Structure 1
Amino acid sequence: MKVLDLQCRQAHVFEGWFASEDDFQDQRRRGLVQCPLCADAQIEKRLSAPRLNLGAREPAQRVGADAPHQAPAGATPSGVPATASPSMAAAVHGALPPALQAAWLELARKVVAHTEDVGAQFAQEARRMHYGEAEERAIRGEATPDEAMELLEEGIAVVPLLLPAAAKETLQ
């Protein structure tokens, strides 16, 4: 089993598990590998190194002329100050912090679990509910920008929300 660090064009970083490198390349070529946050299929592998926890202790920090170059106090290996907020670090690296990515995916899954997908009939169904022709319930679906603006002009509250494909299905 190969565990790969992957990244989409929007700099969302995630992990993928594949039987082999060939399996990853085949799935990527067929568009089966998608970002779980934005559903982007333009996925690239990131450099990653295995971490082996063999129970060894951290080496003692050397001091003096023979010590390796040290980063300035307060800086992390990435060059972002240790006191930087996660959003500042994300801005520097162009990516959301992993905890924020995970929270977004969890929220998206909750939206999917507690709404009915009406697909391309979203605008029509929202109108029917608004005008009392159908029972009110939580729905989601697809609408063009023009349809969404028309709904808002009619006083029908809608919120555009990009739901990643990973939120719509169970992970295996």
Structure 2
Amino acid sequence: MIRYTLSCDNGHDFEGWFSSSDDFDRQVERKLVSCPSCNSTSVAKQLMAPSVATARKKEATRAVIMDQAQKETVAKIRELVKSVRENAEDVGERFPEEARKIHYGEAEERGLIGKATAEEAVALLEEGIAVAPLPILPDEVN
């Protein structure tokens, strides 16, 4: 995945994650990328310094200090993720294949969770198959 710093024609800056530079270009051309502040679809990449991994560089994580409202929101998201996991069949690496079978009526409709590469997820979305990543919550990386 590539993280781009983006800006809209109204001067708002934000981030976007894409499987490749071509994926970004295709999504912008199809007006699928919009500013979260004003919904403008006139979006451009900003100049970014490359992230170079070295043997000495430790894996960095983003840190956040949460107020009570944010803690409550994370708790609700955690409950949602737990419910999704409890009510879905974990098909592991077969996720893209099983999602297509359900979408095209070759298998019974049911909730699925599993693994997919960014490219596989993009391909599923382009086929009209609704997929979304499960969020990784703060306690899961500490």
Q: Structure 2-normalised TM-score? A: 0.47
Higher relative contact order (CA 8 A, sep 6+): 1
Q: Structure 1-normalised TM-score? A: 0.40
Larger radius of gyration: 1
